[in-house]
Amino acid sequence: MRPEMAVSDTDRGDAAPARDFRTTHWSVVLLARTPSPDAAAALEKLCRLYWYPVYGFIRQRGHTAENAQDLTQEFFARLLEKNYLKTADASKGRFRSFLLASLSWFLANEWDRANTLKRGGGCAIVSLNETDAEGRYIHEPACEVTPEKAYDRRWAHELLANVLNRLAKEFTEAGRAKHFEELKVFLVDDRGAVSYAEAAQRLEMSPAGVKSSIHRLRQRYGELIRDEITETVDSPEQVEEELRHLLDAVTAA
């Protein structure tokens, strides 16, 4: 799936409210170099977005599925225990970049299978669906890209999947789950497979009403993409950079 291009502030016709970057998830993590409940919760939420990109990166570096499961669990266990936060560079300010650098360092220097308990040594860590992880990995289309580029591609797809889940929840809570299921196709590549007229007939709406609903859906989709990215950077300037990077990662896939 690709993010709609018509999601910028100028397309919405008004300026998006400025985010207080002191309270985004990544900023809280950066500020808490010592144990903090708020930082721990923020870091765990960020890790849930990145567990599959991390797993895929490890697999693509030549590890077996079993070893990749162990390595993924151990890496997140150490991260959540804050052992790696001391290396975080606030001037770089992107959780995506920090995590990849930490992971590369971990794989090169830190893994000692003989002295580490499997599944993170009994620590409370992000719960990973290992069967699903390997199933997803082996069904990825063959693509001659570096592990780093594949990591970014997986990150982009995970972020967009999170956004779709948030949209689905909003529509469901508003009692409009059927509308979302019918209209979400207009957010992804194959949206041309359904016409406005077909959607209007199934939703018992006019084509003009469907067109208006799709416009609002795309607008909200863009807002949530921006919101998800904002949580993983440390300054407003980096949001636009990450938006461009996300689009590049998806379109290059």
pLDDT at 2 over 60: no
Q: Are residues 136 and 172 in the same domain?
A: no
**pLDDT for 19:** 62
Within-domain flag for 12: no
Considering 26-35, 89-98, 216-225, the range whose residues carry the highest mean pLDDT is 216-225
Most distant CA pair in the chain, distance: 65
Regarding whether 156 and 77 lie in a shared domain, the answer is no
The more confident residue out of 164 and 130 is 164
135 and 150, same domain (yes or no): no
| Mean pLDDT of the 179-185 span | 93
Instruction: Please give the Cα distance from 250 to 132 (Å, whole number).
Output: 21
Domain termination residue (choose one: 140, 164, 199) = 140
Whether the CB-CB separation of 88 and 193 falls below 8 Å is answered with no
Which amino acid is residue 99, in one-letter code?
L
Question: CB of 29 within 8 A of CB of 88?
Answer: yes
Tell me: do 170 and 121 sit in the same domain.
no
Are residue 115 and residue 152 in the same domain, yes or no? no
Residues 173 and 91 in one domain: no
Task: Say yes or no to pLDDT of 192 above 70.
Answer: no
81 and 160 part of one domain: no
Statement to judge: residues 75 and 153 lie in one domain: no
- Residue-number span of the structural domain to which 40 is assigned: 21-140
| Residues with Cβ within 8 Å of residue 157, at least 6 apart in sequence | 1, 250, 253
More reliable by pLDDT, 201 or 33: 201
Q: How far apart are CA 167 and CA 204, in angstroms?
A: 21
Q: Is the pTM of this model over 0.85?
A: no
Quickly state the pLDDT bin for 129 (edges 50, 70, 90). low
Q: Answer whether residue 6 shows pLDDT above 50.
A: no
**Position 187 pLDDT exceeds 50:** yes
Please determine, for residue 115, whether its predicted confidence score (pLDDT) is greater than 70: no
Q: How many domains does the chain have?
A: 2
15 falls within a domain: no
Residue 77, pLDDT > 80, answer: yes
Q: 32-46, 97-111, 143-157, 192-206 — which is least confidently predicted?
A: 32-46
Cα–Cα distance measured from residue 59 to residue 120, given in angstroms and rounded to the nearest whole number? 18
Domain boundary among 109, 124, 140: 140
The answer to whether position 194 is within a domain reads yes
160 in a structural domain: yes
Task: Say what the pLDDT of residue 43 is.
Answer: 87
Q: Is 97 exposed, middle or buried (0-12, 13-18, 19+ CB in 10 A)?
A: middle
**Region 103-128 average pLDDT:** 60
The answer to whether residues 69 and 115 touch, using CB atoms and an 8 Å cutoff, is no
Residues 161 and 132 in one domain: no
- Whether residue 223 lies inside any domain: the answer is yes
Residues 97 and 67 in one domain: yes
Backbone phi and psi for residue 233, each to the nearest 5 degrees, phi listed first: -125, 175
What is the pLDDT of the chain when averaged over all its residues?
80
Domain boundary residue among 82, 115, 140?
140
Q: Which of 33, 30, 23, 36 is nearest to 98 (CA)?
A: 30
d(CA 253, CA 249): 6
pLDDT at 28 over 50: yes
42-71 confidence digits (pLDDT tens): 888 888 889 999 999 999 998 998 888 889
Instruction: Tell which residue, 107, 105, 111, 102, has the closest CA to residue 79.
Output: 102
Residues 224 and 135 in one domain: no
- With the C-alpha atoms ordered 115, 116, 118, 122, is the resulting torsion angle positive or negative? positive
The per-residue pLDDT for 120 is 47
Do residue 75 and residue 121 come from a single domain?
yes
The residue behind tokens 């996300």 is 246
Residue 15 to residue 18: CA distance in whole angstroms: 8
Residue 162: inside a domain, yes or no?
yes
pLDDT higher than threshold 50 for residue 111: yes
